[in-house]
Amino acid sequence: MQKLGMTDQLSRLFALEGPPPDDPSLLRAYAQYRFEQTDYAGSKRTLLRALRVSRDDTETACALARFYLDVPEVDMRDPTEALVLAEHAVKQKPSEIRYWRVLADAGIAANHKDRSAEALRKILELNPKEADAAERLGKLEAELQ
Protein backbone atom coordinates (compact mmCIF):
# COMPACT_ATOMS: atom_id res chain seq x y z
CA MET A 1 0.00 0.00 0.00
CA GLN A 2 1.34 3.41 -0.96
CA LYS A 3 2.01 5.88 1.84
CA LEU A 4 0.19 9.18 1.33
CA GLY A 5 2.06 12.45 1.44
CA MET A 6 0.98 15.34 3.67
CA THR A 7 -0.93 17.16 0.92
CA ASP A 8 -2.74 13.95 -0.10
CA GLN A 9 -3.68 13.31 3.52
CA LEU A 10 -4.95 16.85 3.90
CA SER A 11 -6.94 16.82 0.67
CA ARG A 12 -8.58 13.53 1.68
CA LEU A 13 -9.27 14.83 5.16
CA PHE A 14 -10.96 17.97 3.88
CA ALA A 15 -12.84 16.12 1.14
CA LEU A 16 -14.83 14.28 3.81
CA GLU A 17 -18.32 15.50 4.53
CA GLY A 18 -18.73 17.93 7.34
CA PRO A 19 -16.76 20.97 8.44
CA PRO A 20 -12.98 20.85 8.62
CA PRO A 21 -11.44 20.34 12.05
CA ASP A 22 -10.96 23.35 14.27
CA ASP A 23 -7.22 22.89 14.54
CA PRO A 24 -5.35 26.03 13.41
CA SER A 25 -2.22 24.10 12.45
CA LEU A 26 -4.20 21.73 10.20
CA LEU A 27 -6.08 24.66 8.71
CA ARG A 28 -2.81 26.49 8.00
CA ALA A 29 -1.42 23.39 6.33
CA TYR A 30 -4.54 23.06 4.22
CA ALA A 31 -4.38 26.77 3.32
CA GLN A 32 -0.80 26.23 2.14
CA TYR A 33 -1.94 23.25 0.08
CA ARG A 34 -4.69 25.32 -1.52
CA PHE A 35 -2.23 28.13 -2.22
CA GLU A 36 0.11 25.69 -3.93
CA GLN A 37 -2.83 24.49 -6.03
CA THR A 38 -3.43 28.17 -7.00
CA ASP A 39 -6.75 28.20 -5.14
CA TYR A 40 -5.95 31.57 -3.60
CA ALA A 41 -9.51 32.40 -2.57
CA GLY A 42 -9.79 29.02 -0.83
CA SER A 43 -6.45 29.54 0.85
CA LYS A 44 -7.57 32.92 2.19
CA ARG A 45 -10.90 31.51 3.43
CA THR A 46 -9.07 28.70 5.22
CA LEU A 47 -6.63 31.09 6.90
CA LEU A 48 -9.50 33.35 7.98
CA ARG A 49 -11.27 30.30 9.43
CA ALA A 50 -8.11 29.35 11.33
CA LEU A 51 -7.91 32.88 12.73
CA ARG A 52 -11.56 32.75 13.83
CA VAL A 53 -10.86 29.42 15.57
CA SER A 54 -7.96 30.88 17.51
CA ARG A 55 -7.73 34.68 17.47
CA ASP A 56 -4.45 34.71 19.40
CA ASP A 57 -2.69 32.18 17.16
CA THR A 58 0.36 34.13 16.05
CA GLU A 59 1.35 31.52 13.45
CA THR A 60 -1.97 31.98 11.68
CA ALA A 61 -1.79 35.77 11.93
CA CYS A 62 1.68 35.66 10.41
CA ALA A 63 0.61 33.20 7.68
CA LEU A 64 -2.35 35.40 6.73
CA ALA A 65 -0.13 38.49 6.70
CA ARG A 66 2.33 36.69 4.42
CA PHE A 67 -0.60 35.63 2.21
CA TYR A 68 -1.74 39.26 1.85
CA LEU A 69 1.80 40.22 0.82
CA ASP A 70 2.65 37.32 -1.51
CA VAL A 71 -0.57 36.25 -3.22
CA PRO A 72 -0.03 36.44 -6.99
CA GLU A 73 -3.54 37.85 -7.56
CA VAL A 74 -2.85 41.56 -7.12
CA ASP A 75 -6.47 42.37 -6.26
CA MET A 76 -6.26 40.00 -3.27
CA ARG A 77 -3.22 41.71 -1.77
CA ASP A 78 -3.81 43.80 1.33
CA PRO A 79 -0.59 45.27 2.74
CA THR A 80 -2.47 47.33 5.33
CA GLU A 81 -4.15 44.26 6.78
CA ALA A 82 -0.82 42.41 6.60
CA LEU A 83 0.70 45.19 8.70
CA VAL A 84 -2.07 44.89 11.31
CA LEU A 85 -1.68 41.11 11.49
CA ALA A 86 2.11 41.28 11.73
CA GLU A 87 1.85 43.90 14.49
CA HIS A 88 -0.43 41.53 16.39
CA ALA A 89 2.05 38.67 15.98
CA VAL A 90 5.08 40.63 17.21
CA LYS A 91 3.14 41.95 20.21
CA GLN A 92 2.30 38.38 21.21
CA LYS A 93 5.80 36.97 20.54
CA PRO A 94 8.34 39.79 20.39
CA SER A 95 11.33 37.46 20.24
CA GLU A 96 10.20 35.70 17.04
CA ILE A 97 12.40 37.00 14.22
CA ARG A 98 10.13 35.53 11.50
CA TYR A 99 7.29 37.76 12.64
CA TRP A 100 9.53 40.84 12.55
CA ARG A 101 10.52 39.95 8.97
CA VAL A 102 6.88 39.84 7.94
CA LEU A 103 6.32 43.15 9.71
CA ALA A 104 9.26 44.70 7.85
CA ASP A 105 7.88 43.45 4.53
CA ALA A 106 4.37 44.66 5.37
CA GLY A 107 5.70 48.08 6.35
CA ILE A 108 7.35 48.46 2.94
CA ALA A 109 4.28 47.19 1.06
CA ALA A 110 1.92 49.44 3.04
CA ASN A 111 4.22 52.44 2.59
CA HIS A 112 5.03 52.62 6.31
CA LYS A 113 8.78 52.61 5.81
CA ASP A 114 9.44 53.97 9.29
CA ARG A 115 7.69 50.92 10.79
CA SER A 116 9.66 48.67 8.47
CA ALA A 117 12.91 50.27 9.66
CA GLU A 118 11.89 49.71 13.29
CA ALA A 119 11.19 46.03 12.53
CA LEU A 120 14.57 45.61 10.82
CA ARG A 121 16.30 47.22 13.82
CA LYS A 122 14.50 44.78 16.10
CA ILE A 123 15.67 41.85 13.97
CA LEU A 124 19.25 43.08 14.34
CA GLU A 125 18.76 43.53 18.08
CA LEU A 126 17.60 39.92 18.33
CA ASN A 127 20.32 38.62 16.02
CA PRO A 128 23.13 41.02 15.07
CA LYS A 129 24.37 38.54 12.44
CA GLU A 130 21.27 38.97 10.24
CA ALA A 131 23.06 40.25 7.14
CA ASP A 132 19.88 40.58 5.06
CA ALA A 133 18.21 42.75 7.70
CA ALA A 134 21.32 44.93 7.99
CA GLU A 135 21.48 45.42 4.23
CA ARG A 136 17.77 46.19 3.95
CA LEU A 137 17.95 48.61 6.87
CA GLY A 138 20.88 50.46 5.31
CA LYS A 139 18.98 50.92 2.03
CA LEU A 140 15.81 51.93 3.84
CA GLU A 141 17.52 54.47 6.07
CA ALA A 142 19.13 56.03 2.97
CA GLU A 143 15.65 56.37 1.43
CA LEU A 144 14.20 57.89 4.60
CA GLN A 145 16.78 60.70 4.74
pLDDT in tens, the chain (145 residues): 344 455 566 666 566 544 456 788 888 988 998 899 899 999 999 999 999 988 889 999 999 999 999 999 999 999 999 999 999 999 999 999 999 999 999 999 999 999 999 999 999 999 999 999 999 999 999 988 8
18-144 belongs to which homologous superfamily? Tetratricopeptide repeat domain (1.25.40.10)
Contact 23, 36 (CB under 8 A): no
Residues 6+ apart with CB under 8 A from 75: none
Rounded to two decimals, the pTM is 0.85
